[in-house]
Structure 1
């Protein structure tokens, strides 16, 4: 390794070591990894740790991948702030020098440089352009190969910069970076405490009850979560059994199951997992998929939505929804050696505005539930179609962080 490479690596290590949100994210990712195998063993009695399951993967098999990707976004925000901090003392003479001072290298450096060079066309300084490029360093570079997507994305980020708080361009760029970091860590924590916590409580309850004694009826009668209602959980469970073979599978639970809250859906999901365990092979996967959708609805509709659209604006931040609109086209979720990409998903959809000058991915906003929900379901389908790849679990960004003992 050259002296220059060593300096960049040292700078990156320094940035990562000073990032509390990355440590929290790493603990969450590892917390999910503790839940994946025991939860899969619920639906697959023949499951063997360390090997892909022979039945459909449960929601918890997707969670570590999603948490890891959120961590990459947080890392980008910290690298951006490192560039901003370095620029306070001496402005960088080039985008490349600014990125090096922030500790960027490898694939993330390629993405950041592409974005930063485009941002320079909007009149931004080397340091500001590099910091915003670093912010998008986890972006899907293939999405940015479309000039329309690259230009619209960078235009939106630039406009957001000008609208942000702060007296100087660097302060405005820091507000953008701070917004992304806070959005991601709040969403990461909210999902883990909610669905992860429910999963841990369920496994503990199941063990205490005696796994051989647990049935879906017993789950509906005896397993309780704060805010759930037993009659709602039973209604959701009954609805799933009545519609489990419908094509396409029902997913609009606000209209299909009016009055059933998210916690009741979670309890119903665990009951469906128990049914799947005992179901014939031809029925098992359908029950798991229905249960996964119940968990995902609670995750996306209830737990994480406030992180995207808080009831009141956060001090010192830019609009979270506007920021996510800018970043949406670049979203990508690695699932082991394969990946779900937002560009692939939108390729199958109709052109919303009929304007050739706007690429399809730029016409959506991940912060809007109605835009995000169908995309989440599509990501599940990619995982279902690549079961073995999905079970190649990610390594946490910070492997030195100790495992959580409970959610």
Structure 2
């Protein structure tokens, strides 16, 4: 596999990344479970790369929404749009994605946005979870946040402002997706290239002979020792900032591969699955703490964009992660948490911002737990958002 993502549209790059994760997930799962079958699944706990398939696909849905929004903006440049319903008919939008688009679009009109802009921007959230919008507090807050970004956006004409929000979402999702893949995906590529060159691979040999740029062997070794001692705790160790202050997150990626080798040699399924879970947390810590964070919080607002953290704030209540037939919704997670502002006029999901690591990390750990409870679901691959032959969009 190439070490970089090839050029193309964001959706084409997303397609490439999702396929790459699929190959990595299957290869690594076969290491810890020799009976693994791509269609029938695995007896072992799914690894981080299996989750990454679905996370990449969800990011792709957001990019699909941006691509459709841009198509609507192009339509509106040359003619007056009669109604949101007719526009969505013309771009082939249907099903749940259309329902979400119509709901948010109507709320944006009430916030003072022109019909053309609200029709386009409604699509940005159309691929996300609709249920939270049933709470009037969430609907009003989400629409208000989108409207505020719209009126702050660069450009003079409404469609220019809508284009700015669309561009920001597309770039943010694409940059994050590429950053994770070229970091952890590349680490997996290197690991799988190294592994056949070494006989009788063990966790110890990983620590001795395999490394990554930025990793420190002493750190990876120390982390492995500590995590093996705590592997059977529930919940699994995840507060790595407290456990390993100052440790490079790349060192934990090396530790994760060593944990997978240790899991492969475990005598029983419970011990094996516990180690896979700890390895998943190590991969995810690197993914969320360092790899993806710059995509959410660049040093300043980029030219032609609105604030990425503010856009992430607006979309956070609607986030979801499809895991085959199972859905993890951010709103469900938020409902189990304390009321941060103790204000009954605000809904809990609107009190979080996915752009902030402290808000993301505990939530993601609950997504892992849902996947562990439904392991077969993760091996049901999501349908492609574009076709290989024509690169046509497939909203639905």
| Structure 1 and Structure 2 fold alike (TM over 0.5) | yes
Provide Cα deviations, 1:51-84, integer angstroms capped at 9, x if missing partner: 2111111101101100011000001011111111
CA displacement at 1:389 relative to structure 2: 1.2
| 1:134 and 2:134 are equivalent in the alignment | no
Following the alignment from structure 2 to structure 1, what is the Cα–Cα distance between the partners of residues 303 and 221?
Answer: 42
Shift of 1:36: 1.2
Is the partner of 1:151 in helix, strand or coil? helix
Distance 2:23 2:35 in 1: 18
Q: Does residue 84 of the first structure (1) align with residue 73 of the second (2)? A: yes
Give the corresponding residue for 1:348: 336
5+ long unaligned stretches in structure 2 = 1-7, 391-396
Normalising by structure 2, report the TM-score: 0.94
Are the equivalent residues in 2 in contact too, given 1:120–1:126 (CA < 8 A)?
yes
**What pairs with 1:367-386 in structure 2 (closer than 5 Å)?**
367-386=355-374
Residue 298 in structure 1 maps to residue 297 in structure 2:
no
State the secondary structure of the residue aligned to 1:397.
coil
Secondary structure of the residue aligned to 1:373 is helix
1:31 aligns with 2:56: no
1:177 maps to: 166
Among 223, 237, 240, the residue aligned to 1:253: 240
1:336 aligns with 2:324: yes
- 1:94-125 deviations in Å (ceiling 9; x for gaps): 12123334442222111101111111111222
Could you tell me which residue of structure 2 aligns to residue 148 of structure 1?
137
- Cα contact 1:98–1:126 (8 A) shared by 2: no
2:288 counterpart of 1:324: no
Deviation readout 1:336-380 (Å, 9 max, x if unpaired) = 011100111111111111111111100000000000000111100
Aligned counterpart for 2:378 among listed residues 390, 393, 400: 390
State whether residues 330 and 342 of structure 1, in contact with CA within 8 Å, keep that contact through their aligned partners in structure 2: yes
Partner of 1:216: 203
Q: Partners in 1 of 2:383 and 2:87 — Cα distance? A: 28
User: Conserved in 2, the CA contact under 8 Å of 1:45 and 1:277?
Assistant: no
Q: Deviations over 1:110-163 (max 9, x none)?
A: 110111111111122221110110111111011111111111101100011011
**Hey, what's the Cα distance between the residues in 2 that align with 1:88 and 1:293?**
47
Distance 2:128 2:310 in 1: 17
Q: How many residues end up aligned between the 2 structures?
A: 382
Q: Which residue among 48, 64, 68 is the counterpart of 1:75? A: 64
Matches within 5 A, 1:235-254: 235-254=222-241
Corresponding residue of 2:29: 40
Contact 1:79 1:103 in 2 (8 A): no
Residue number in structure 2 paired with 1:311: 299
CA-to-aligned-CA distance 1:230-250 (integer Å, 9 cap, x gap) = 001101111111211223322
Identify the range of structure 1 (252-261 vs 172-181) with the bigger mean alpha-carbon deviation: 252-261
Deviation at 1:266, TM superposition (A): 0.4
Note if contact 1:86-1:101 (Cα within 8 Å) is conserved in structure 2.
Answer: no
1:269 equivalent in alignment to 2:256: yes
Aligned partners of 1:336 and 1:393 also within 8 Å: yes
Gaps of 5+ in 1: 1-18, 403-407
Structure 2 CA distance for aligned equivalents of residues 280 and 231 of structure 1: 27
Matched, 1:49 2:38: yes
Q: CA deviation at 1:401?
A: 6.5
Distance in 1 between the 2:373 and 2:162 partners? Answer: 40
TM-score (norm 1): 0.91
How far apart, in 2, do the equivalents of 1:279 and 1:299 lie? 26
